[in-house]
């Protein structure tokens, strides 16, 4: 069973180079280890039309999950849910459940002696109609789940700790179930003194012999430069971690054998 996922990351800070997109890296790693497959990662700015366009295009590709990050907070530039509203045709409306979650989090944090639900705080509880809020165990803005048939559109905050908290608590199990509890295994080996162009045919041969293993070369020293150093990354997704590990180890042994024949 396959589980395909697209990630749409929202924030001007990503596009101007101010912020490194560690959220996408973390999500991709987590999703892969849960047996899912990330098919695309897109970055857009804090613009309703750009967000709507990116989400709409992802929905057209009929993946199992579309996950957005960022743009759920109380400030004027938090526009992700407006973009999702436009992309899905679902009107924004106040969610009593989301408002309760926001209120409860402020009370738990005890940062306000007397809680006032100001307009910016209420904004975090205005969701696309028919969606479900997901508890934020770290911050105040809830995650949001919009279901379209079998497809799940999930919005997570951009603050890394909040994104990770909601993902672990509410999203990981959805992906695990959809993937059929597949297991991911990876390992790497370092190859010295062989340039990437010489490794290319060996990689092709290893992958033909081991079709369940993906082999990717990562040069640490560029082609043609003195002191060639390349990391070969082997990965496999199987019904069990043991099976995936077995596949990877077999592919590594084949690669070592082929490299030995070159010498």
Q: What is the pTM of this model?
A: 0.89
The pLDDT of residue 86 is: 97
Domain coordinates of the chain in residue numbers?
4-179, 183-262
Give the pLDDT of the chain (263 residues) as one tens digit per residue: 689 999 999 999 999 999 999 999 999 999 999 999 999 999 999 999 999 999 999 999 999 999 999 999 999 999 999 999 999 999 999 999 999 999 998 888 766 556 678 999 999 999 999 999 999 999 999 999 999 999 999 999 999 999 999 999 999 999 999 999 899 999 999 999 898 999 999 999 999 999 999 999 999 876 666 667 999 999 999 999 999 999 999 999 999 999 988 75
Fold of the CATH domain 4-179? Molybdenum Cofactor Biosythetic Enzyme; Chain A (3.40.980)
Fold entry, domain 183-262: Alpha-Beta Plaits (3.30.70)
What does the pLDDT read at residue 223? 66
Q: What is the pLDDT of residue 2?
A: 81
Q: Quick check: helix, strand or coil at residue 202?
A: helix
pLDDT at 224: 63
10: which residues sit within 8 A by CB, 6+ positions away?
43, 44, 45, 46, 51, 68, 69, 70, 71, 79, 80, 83, 158
């Amino acid at each position: 069973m396959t589980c395909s996922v697209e990630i749409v990351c929202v924030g001007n800070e990503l596009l101007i180079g101010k912020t490194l997109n560690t959220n996408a890296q973390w999500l991709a790693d987590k999703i892969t280890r849960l047996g899912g497959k990330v098919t695309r990662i897109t970055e857009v700015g804090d613009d309703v039309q750009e967000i709507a366009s990116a989400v709409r295009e992802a929905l057209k590709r009929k993946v199992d999950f579309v996950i957005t990050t960022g743009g759920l907070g109380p400030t004027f530039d938090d526009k992700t849910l407006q973009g999702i509203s436009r992309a899905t045709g679902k009107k924004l409306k106040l969610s009593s459940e989301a408002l309760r979650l926001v209120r409860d989090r402020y009370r738990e944090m005890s940062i306000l002696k007397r809680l006032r639900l100001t307009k910016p705080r209420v904004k975090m509880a205005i969701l696309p109609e028919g969606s479900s809020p997901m508890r934020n165990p770290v911050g105040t803005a809830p995650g949001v789940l919009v279901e379209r048939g079998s497809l799940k559109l999930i919005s997570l905050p951009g603050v890394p700790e909040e994104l990770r908290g909601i993902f672990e608590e509410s999203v990981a199990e959805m992906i695990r179930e959809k993937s059929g509890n597949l297991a991911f295994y990876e390992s790497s080996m370092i190859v010295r003194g062989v340039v990437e162009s010489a490794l290319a045919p060996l990689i092709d041969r290893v992958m033909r012999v081991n079709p369940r293993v993906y082999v990717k070369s990562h040069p640490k020293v560029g082609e043609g430069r003195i002191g060639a150093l390349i990391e070969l990354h082997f990965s496999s997704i199987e019904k069990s971690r043991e099976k995936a590990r077995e596949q990877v180890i077999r592919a590594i042994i084949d690669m070592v054998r082929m490299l030995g024949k070159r010498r």
